[in-house]
Amino acid sequence: MGNSATLLPMQKWIMAILLAAGLSGCNFSPPPKPVLPVQQTGELVVITRNSPTTYYEDAEEHLAGIEHDLVELFAKELGVKVRFVVANQFNEILPSLQNQQAHLAAAGLTITPERQKNFKFSIPYQNIRQQVVYNTVSPKPSGLKALIGQRIEVVAGSSYAEMLMEAKKKYPELSWKENASMESEELLEILAMGQLDAVVADSNIVDVLKNYLPSLGTAFDLSETQHLAWAFPRNVDNFLLEKSNDFFARIKQDGTLKRLLDRYYGHVTRLGRIDVEGFMIASNGVLPKFRRHFHRAQELTELDWRLIAAIGYQESHWDPLATSPTGVRGLMMLTGETADRLGVTDRLDPKQSILAGARYVNYLKDTVPDRIPEPDRTWIALAAYNIGYGHLEDARILAKKKKLNPDSWTDLKTTLPLLAKAEYIGEVKHGYARGSETVIFVENVRTYYDILARFEKPYQRLFSSTSDESAMPAASNQPGRKSSLGLKAPASALRPDKAAGQQAH
């Protein structure tokens, strides 16, 4: 025992030496410096996260997402460049912002009382609700009490955890897991696989994911309406906060924000669970039979094959023998007149039908005014495909009369249904048209395209080849217009003589 007592100081001394030696060999990285004011550097540093409702790379390898688009517009208004910092985990975003590693956070953040203690927020740009989501193969939870004992997960550091902590005051036995390594989208996928009982997520996220995971259902809202906004450090430069508020006020006033929200969310709630499930089944069972024809149509028209396939499904559910009471036929549901102009000898031949439909979309995209940008250009062309170019022009004229934007698909969605109303029929050149059906057509195609873009790979031919489609007119060699969707619309040589007022099928 005496020996142990005498060795103890010696052990401490040796450990101290070893520790010092170890420390002397370590390379310490100083904490990162706070970002300098944007006015000084000309660079806006924005922290965000990778998700379909914020910032992501789309199927054509273009950066997209509502937060991405808003930030790019804001930076353009400021006259500075943007540097996005993508957080590895959601719970890294606010601490990084608090340490001033970014000028702002644009990451689908809700304004909560707890967050307002440490951060400032811009004017809100979107309203959401927190929802409890379940797998519809299980009984629907009737309320918070029904969640006791269930496997519940939420994103760590999220406002969902804050809301559940409030609920726990009433239901002390309520428990859940905070997941630091997954986003809401990943947790919802796990829920759809039956490995969880419930997940809490924002309603906009749930709306998007339901189109890919039809087994998901909304049990109930966990919160009242909440607001998404940009977050700033508590000691933010007032210049930047005021500029952001001016920016959001302006884009709300001029309709830019409405159009951006419609681009990402305007179509996501159109389809029901049965519609999505039917499309998924057909994608696995029917689509492979025609995939090579859609690929070939992309080669000859440069339209994304998944867009062509989405149109084909909306038209006929990929049934090459489909026939309507009005006489339109085939997988792309062409009229006899349109088929003749496009050189189609057999409308029931899926190869001819698919290529003709794609070429007609190109013609319509080339016909709408050059000033219309993507993606509105594509959606407006699809409206003409369904209702006819003349009726489309009637809807655009009505939009102008109502002081709306005739080049915006968001605004045309409000005037197309007016073509069926008696008080407007006399005002338009081409008379009555079922414009509401056209809106449904386009919005469904948008959703089907989104689903295909998520699950189907882009097509890139390995070798260039010349067309051997002797039954079809040659594609034009004129320069094309590359869209933000990657849907390239070359000027078409196919210009039917009576496009105005003609049903585009």
pLDDT tens, 376-429? 999 999 999 999 999 999 999 999 999 999 999 999 999 999 999 988 988 889
| Residues 244-257: tens digit of each pLDDT | 999 999 999 999 99
Q: Are residues 349 and 413 in the same domain?
A: yes
- Give the N- to C-terminal CA distance of the chain in Å, as an integer: 98
Average pLDDT (286-290) is: 97
- The sign of the torsion formed by the CA atoms of 245, 250, 255, 260 equals negative
Q: Are residues 449 and 433 in the same domain?
A: yes
In a domain? residue 30:
no
In a domain? residue 14:
no
Measure the CA–CA gap between 368 and 377, rounded to whole angstroms: 7
Q: Are residues 340 and 424 in the same domain?
A: yes
Q: Are residues 302 and 243 in the same domain?
A: no
Helices of type H across 193-272: 203-210, 238-253, 256-265
Q: Binning pLDDT at 50, 70 and 90, where does residue 325 land?
A: confident
Measure the CA–CA gap between 289 and 299, rounded to whole angstroms: 18
In a domain? residue 257:
yes
In a domain? residue 63:
yes
Q: Are residues 140 and 88 in the same domain?
A: no
Measure the CA–CA gap between 287 and 301, rounded to whole angstroms: 20
Q: Are residues 345 and 452 in the same domain?
A: yes
Q: Are residues 485 and 414 in the same domain?
A: yes
Residue 315: active-site member: yes
Length of the chain, in residues = 505
Q: What is the pLDDT of residue 32?
A: 75
Q: What is the pLDDT of residue 480?
A: 35
Q: Are residues 411 and 347 in the same domain?
A: yes
Question: What is the CATH number for 167?
Answer: 3.40.190.10
| Residues 84-111: tens digit of each pLDDT | 999 999 999 999 999 999 999 999 999 9
- Is pLDDT above 60 for 152? yes
- Is pLDDT above 90 for 28? no
CA torsion 403-380-270-153 (nearest 10°) is -90
- Is pLDDT above 80 for 374? yes
- What percentage of the chain has pLDDT greater than the value 90? 75
Helices of type H across 388-479: 389-401, 409-415, 422-425, 435-455
Tokens standing for residue 352:
């001819």
Measure the CA–CA gap between 117 and 105, rounded to whole angstroms: 16
In a domain? residue 501:
no
239, 265, 291 — which closes off a domain? 265
Beta carbons within 8 Å of 73's beta carbon, 6+ residues apart: 247, 251, 256
- Strand pairing partners for 298? none
Give 365 or 422, the one with higher predicted confidence: 365
Q: What is the pLDDT of residue 478?
A: 31
Q: Are residues 377 and 478 in the same domain?
A: yes
In a domain? residue 207:
yes
Phi, psi angle pair for 174, to nearest 5°: -70, 130
In a domain? residue 498:
no
Give 272 or 28, the one with higher predicted confidence: 272
Q: Are residues 406 and 302 in the same domain?
A: yes
Q: What is the pLDDT of residue 31?
A: 64
Q: Are residues 316 and 432 in the same domain?
A: yes
Measure the CA–CA gap between 499 and 389, rounded to whole angstroms: 6
Please pick, among 67, 153, 183, 315, the residue that the annotation labels catalytic: 315
Report the mean per-residue pLDDT for the chain: 86
| Residues 294-310: tens digit of each pLDDT | 999 999 999 999 999 99
Give 45 or 20, the one with higher predicted confidence: 45
| Residues 470-505: tens digit of each pLDDT | 333 333 333 333 333 433 333 222 323 333 333 434
What domain range includes position 316?
A: 273-490
Average pLDDT (48-57) is: 91
Q: What is the pLDDT of residue 473?
A: 38
User: How many independent structural domains does the chain possess?
Assistant: 3
Average pLDDT (357-375) is: 95
337: left (phi over 0), alpha (psi -120 to 50) or beta: alpha
Give 461 or 199, the one with higher predicted confidence: 199
Strand, helix or coil for residue 168: helix
Q: Are residues 438 and 360 in the same domain?
A: yes
In a domain? residue 7:
no
Measure the CA–CA gap between 227 and 286, rounded to whole angstroms: 42
Q: What is the pLDDT of residue 503?
A: 40
Average pLDDT (340-346) is: 94
- Is pLDDT above 60 for 19? no
